[in-house]
Structure 1
Amino acid sequence: MPFSVSWHTLLDEAEELPSDATLITPLSHKRFRITDTQEHRVIIECQESSDSRPLQREQFETLYRRIQERNSRFELDRIPADAEPYAAVLTLHPRFEIDEEAGVIIETEEPSATHVVDDEESRTEDRAEPDAGVYSDAFLLIDALERHDSTNLTELDTNALVNLYTLLSDVQREANDLRQDIADILLNRIHHDRPVHAQFGSVQRTARRSKSLRDEEEVLAALEDAGIDRERVLGVDPDKVDDALDVTELRESDVYEITETEYVRKAEVDEEVKETRLQGLKDRLAASESEEATELRAEIEDLEARIEDLTGFDTGTEYYTQSGADP
């Protein structure tokens, strides 16, 4: 594909950005915004300094060629520091992305799911059972929910409630672990603060600010230099109070307001019973040849196809490729 096609696709993507969208350079993590797009350059503004600078088409083409020359993978540390914005902007193109963990910018064979609808073959191919704990636990939970009316929990017997609670706890734990693993990978791939959309939703890179006090003497010295008397900020240290309780006859209730909250927690899980039940469900599903099961599978496939049609769209590049029309 000639660079001119990729260049105009990149310009189109940049023009569609919200005016307040922020991009992030892959190594130094400096933030900047695109303020204008022109035929031969992209104008950016750095957030730290508010300085404006043009990113020239020729430099984008050079980076584009370097990526192709190195089997569609180019090491980020080979990019000069002042050229990092080129890599960040290039990832707006649907066929380029940064793998920060591997330290490379890569050209993908196909546009991401955000930009293109899966073809019919990929929708209808056989599904394989994933090797993920949350999958099996979710399968068991679905079975339990189908057998018990969760809209009227007070009518369920204790055994059913214990089973539901245990399965919900397992699904929550496994899902959170998997969600965090996915989040870590996404953080290395998303280098701007605009939402990245997919079929079922979107994610967005953001930052959370936290703080902790420096060394006590350093804090007190800084406050005293600013005219704040140390007595105004000194308070009761819970750790020191606990130490004092250990060497005195004081009771906790003498110095603490104590409240107790009772709750239920999962004590143990019978993995053998879960595995037996799970295998039984799989066997029943595989052996089911009833008309009802066939209709259900057809309904599911039809629903998946409708969801794809409603949530996906073809890029202009794909349209021209399929139709044979000139761009």
Structure 2
Amino acid sequence: MMFDVCVVGHITKDVANTADGKIETPGGTAYYTAVALKNLGMSVAVITKLHDHDTFLLSELEKEHIPVFLGESDRTTMFTNVYSSDTNTREQWVKDVARPFTVRDASRCEARIFHLGPVTKDDIPLEVIRFLADRARISLDVQGFVRNVVERSRGWAQVRHAAWKEKTAALALVNIVKANEEEARILSHERDMTEIAVELSNCGPEEVVITRGGNPSLVYSKGKSYWVPTYLPRNTVAVDPTGCGDTYMAGYLFYREKSTKLDEVGKFAAMTASLKLERGSPFRGDEADVRDFANTVGQPLPSTA
């Protein structure tokens, strides 16, 4: 079967310590992006790896009827996240990391678009990106490629940002690249967001997406910059922001198939992420929900029928 999108990335075990004890939930780009894409209306599959003991992490994907191509691994990637008071930055710790993906893993699924979502720097080797780029369009979230695992303490290691050595070679194979503001600054010596987007675009991607937490995001393509407003959730209840960037990209990939107007694509993506903040994780709304949100905030989206 040919899917609209196949998401490649490790489903993670995210650990949170609460007043009620330790809670383990699924996480990772593959989880948040795939569930959002499916609910928006795209046919989607996931290529992932985790330990046999942790297959319960796939239950949400099974409920959504999302096919999973599961590779073997003697470990499951395990994260814990600590957010700043404004939720725009976070401190991450990792305990285990699943085995890297191989060309054999990547060959198990056919799709028009492969969205690559590494969560650590060794998850998706360059040879896998090259293999997939010969077969489909590539969308890439750089987050894992700029993560370095350091400072072990009681079995956990802190995640720090570091330069991506294979940046130039990898981006030459990519059609759409996404980074958040902090990651974008690591990928470039430039400080201005537009200049960073230009630099990344010159490496090969046709479209560059830079998300900025509670600030306007940037979509850049073919010499044009599109600044996308931030849309505040309509409620004021604090919600875990984990997966917002992944939800943004799900909205982007979905609406990009319907429209060539990148300012509108960016707006749809930003509104999808805002709805995720309203309702919690993962995003389970559909296109009609996003359009209703757009009307509510006075930014109606044009018909793409």
Specify if TM > 0.5.
no
More helix by share: 1
Q: TM-score range by the shorter chain?
A: under 0.3
TM-score, normalised with respect to structure 2:
0.25
TM-score, normalised with respect to structure 1:
0.23
More strand by share: 2
